[in-house]
Amino acid sequence: MAQTLLKVSGLKVAYGGIQAVKGIDFEVREGELVSLIGSNGAGKTTTMKAITGTLPFAAGSIEFLGKSIKGRGAWDLVGEGLVMVPEGRGVFTRMTITENLQIGAYIRKDKAEIAKDMDRVFATFPRLKERATQLAGTMSGGEQQMLAMGRALMARPKVLLLDEPSMGLSPIMVDKIFEVVKQVYGQGVTVLLVEQNASRALQLADRGYVMESGLITMSGDAKVMLSDPKVRAAYLGE
C-alpha cells in the first residue's frame, strides 16, 4: 500500500464560537487524487485552512509526512511540499504572469531546476506562456485559476490542495480546469481536491469523502460513490 502523506484525525475547528469542523478523519496516500465534496458551508475550506497551518484547530491532529503540523507556519509546510491553491485564486494582480510563477518558487534556491519547472508550467498552460508579460489582474477568472495552479506547481508540491478550482468559472473554463487537474495528477502529483461540483470531482478521483455540517458522512471508492443513490440525490440533482 502507498505511503500516507496526509492524515487527519479527530479534527475540530471553531470559528468565533461556531463549531465548523466537528471531529473528522481522512487520509491522502501517495499518488492518489482524493476528492472532498459537500455543499457550501459544510466545512471544507475550513478544513483546508487548518491543514495548511493558516487556521488554528481546537482538537485532533494533522500529520504531514508522518509529523504533526501543530504550531508550524504555513511557509514551513510549503517548504516541505504541502501547497494549496486557495479558493478565489489569490493571484498577485499587479504582477506579471512570470512574476507570479517566480513567487511560487520563492523558497527554492535551485535556479536551474526553477527554470526547468517554469518551462514545464508553460508547457502545461500554453495560454500563460503566450501572456507571460501580462499583468495577472487583466486575465479572465479561468486564466487566473490556471496561474494559481501553475504558481503552486512551482513549489514542487508533494501534496497539492485545490480549494474549489471551478468556482465562478464558465462551463468551458470548468472543462479546461478539470482537464488540467487530470493532467497534473497524471504527472504524479498527489492531489486533495475540494469541490462543490461533486460529479466532476468524483469522476477524476480515486477516493472520495462527503462532508456535511462539519462531519464526514460517507467515504469510499470514488466511482462507487458516483453511482450511490444517496450521493446522486444529494449532490448530482437526481
Tell me the three cell numbers of residue 68.
504533526
CB burial of residue 233 (10 Å; 0-12, 13-18, 19+): exposed
Domain tally for the chain?
1
Q: List pLDDT tens digits, range 81-103.
A: 999 998 877 899 999 999 999 99
pLDDT one-digit tens code per residue, 110-122: 999 999 999 999 9
Instruction: Please give the residue range of the domain that contains residue 87.
Output: 4-235
pLDDT tens profile 192-220: 999 988 889 999 999 999 999 999 999 99
The answer to whether the predicted template modeling score (pTM) of the entire model surpasses 0.75 is yes
CA dist., res. 126 & res. 169, Å (int): 19
DSSP secondary structure letter of residue 135: B
Task: Supply the CATH number for residue 231's domain.
Answer: 3.40.50.300
Name the nearest CA neighbour of 230 among 213, 210, 207, 201.
Answer: 210
Q: Provide the mean pLDDT of the chain.
A: 92
CA distance 8 to 215: 13
Spatial CA neighbour of 230 closest among 205, 212, 207, 203: 212
